[in-house]
Amino acid sequence: MEGVAPAVSLFRPRPSARFPVLLAADSVAARRSPSADGWSGVSMRSLETSPPRAGRSAVRKHGSTESAPRRSGITRVPRLGPAVSTKRAGRRKDPLINLEVSRHRAVAAVRLLRIEKGKAFVDLLNEKANDSGDNEMGYVERTLGFSTRYLEDWDIRLVTVIVAGTVRWKRYLDYLIMSLCSEEKVFREMEPLLLQILRIGFFEILKLDVPAYAAVDENVRLAKVALRPGAGNMVNAILRKLLLLKETNSLPLPKIEGDDRAQARALSIIYSHPVWMVRRWIRLHGKDEALRLMNWNNSDPRFSLRVNTSKGYTRADLVKQLESLQVHHEESVMDEFVRIQEGMQAVLQAGLLKDGMCAVQDESAGLVVSVVDPQPGDTIIDCCAAPGGKTLFMASRLSRQGKIRALDVNKGRLRILMDAAKQHSLDDMITDIHADLRLYAKETTAKYDKVLLDAPCSGLGVLSKRADLRWNRQFEDLEELMCLQDELLDSASTLVKPGGILIYSTCSIDPEENENRITTFVQRHPVLVHNNQHGFFFFLEYAGELRIFVLIERINRPLTN
């Protein structure tokens, strides 16, 4: 079906067991070991020795003989007591560790639940994985009432793919789940955790190359242990109904028919995008281009690594490291960049970023820097600099001659930028300025050879990389962003030296944030724009790698040139 991302084989068979096995591990006695289950020094429990507990599929708290009432979703989340270690995520003095619940599915379900509540983002687990600042395993225990074994690299990859894919296809998945429920009310009143488990199962069956028995059995087991037996039975019935419909090629999807509004609603379900985006893109780009754009947004994103030439590394050095890590890659047309689609965890854990050998950076950002064209001796200001990818790249081009001011309103993100600058041995080239550009431009007398304004925008050009962004954007956001972009552009223009240049860029594909902002700027400042003492460049980015349009206008010359 058009719009469906290619199937990805991510399933690895795991040994089955008769019953869910729990470990009650003392934090002092328990030690990691190379054994099959990854633990030693623990006392094992199973359903054969533990009486069933109401509402928890025979999972009971260590040391307790009392039954507990049924849990509903996460409305009765167990609290962590003072014995919880803040250093190790999810580790209590006496935690329950379930060895039979699929660990990557448990983590994915909890992360999806947190995303739904606005408490988390769709991103890669970092190189510390289970000891990360998000305390991923701690969230699992607090939400589900038990822990899983720590995640291996393969599990982290699966969590990343499942979470991003499930969020990306949420509208499509929810439509099918609702269609397969006995009535719409069942879907509308479904427990949040149960809905996340169903979404995972539907995504695995429809979009990933996961064997049907694994998708059904593992998600049923998760629902039974995390919620109650009845929830598992419901998951089992709905997933098996889905399998039957898939095998007979009779998924109950809407037909693309009727007026423009009705067709847009159907397309928004099939391609899992907000209706307003679909209608807007069809109006702006035509139906074929809108479908192509949505297909791209639903594809697995590629990531680019930029080698740090300021430390003396070459792309050949980076390629050699990737080959040693067995990370599939391809070289970009831009000399400093290498593309990868998988293997980011290997890159992180090998310390290539931490050691300053390379940085994760989109090639479109490199394109912006190529337009800036930093030259030794230049003074440059990056007006919305954090998190700093473009700033670092520009500094590496200066051959240690010249200065860059990195300005941003977010102090924490500026600190991250300067830490990265130190890793890349570029901190002597960069000075951070914590300020609002609009206030800074009024108060300073400084002028710069080159002014880069990579403006805050809707991000509609990078939806393949930011899976949750489509659901967090409203049409009304565009109007607010347009006003902000105008104000920032006016302020940035006052920082340009006579003969200097201003570069404006976004990662949006909407003309209201791009061409129209330039048009209104020219209308507001006709004298400034046509003054031969200033050379204004306006760079408009059609981002997202689907296709990139670059429009550079020398405004101090006839616009037809």
**pLDDT tens across 218-246, in order?**
999 999 999 999 999 999 999 999 999 99
Count: domains in the chain: 5
- The mean pLDDT of 133-148, rounded to a whole number, is 78
Catalytic pick from 181, 383, 457, 507?
Answer: 507
Residue at 14 is within a domain: no
Q: Are residues 224 and 267 in the same domain?
A: no
Residue at 527 is within a domain: yes
Active site residue 507: yes
For residue 387, give the DSSP letter.
T
Hey, which bits of 221-292 come out as E strands? none
Spatial neighbors of 228 by CB under 8 A, at least 6 apart, are 55, 56, 57, 70, 71
Residue at 186 is within a domain: yes
Residue at 394 is within a domain: yes
Q: Are residues 103 and 52 in the same domain?
A: yes
Q: Which pLDDT score, from 0 to 100, does residue 202 have?
A: 98
For residue 140, give the DSSP letter.
H
Residue range of the domain that includes 286: 260-298
Q: Are residues 410 and 515 in the same domain?
A: yes
Q: Are residues 526 and 380 in the same domain?
A: yes
Q: How far apart are CA 457 and CA 459, in angstroms?
A: 5
Q: Which pLDDT score, from 0 to 100, does residue 112 have?
A: 95
Q: How far apart are CA 63 and CA 485, in angstroms?
A: 60
Q: Are residues 153 and 182 in the same domain?
A: no
Is the pTM higher than 0.75? Answer: yes
Whether residue 153 is annotated as binding a ligand: the answer is no
Whether residue 384 is annotated as binding a ligand: the answer is yes
Strands 330-331 and 379-382: unpaired
Q: Provide the pLDDT confidence category of residue 495 given band limits of 50, 70 and 90.
A: very high
- Percent residues over pLDDT 70 in the chain: 74
**pLDDT tens across 262-294, in order?**
999 999 999 999 999 999 999 999 999 999 999
Whether residue 436 is annotated as binding a ligand: the answer is yes
Residue at 1 is within a domain: no
Q: Are residues 178 and 78 in the same domain?
A: no
Q: Which pLDDT score, from 0 to 100, does residue 87 have?
A: 36
Whether residue 388 is annotated as binding a ligand: the answer is yes
Q: Are residues 431 and 549 in the same domain?
A: yes
Residue at 561 is within a domain: no
Q: Which pLDDT score, from 0 to 100, does residue 556 have?
A: 33
Q: Are residues 278 and 420 in the same domain?
A: no
Q: Which pLDDT score, from 0 to 100, does residue 522 have?
A: 83
Q: Are residues 379 and 527 in the same domain?
A: yes
Whether residue 454 is annotated as binding a ligand: the answer is yes
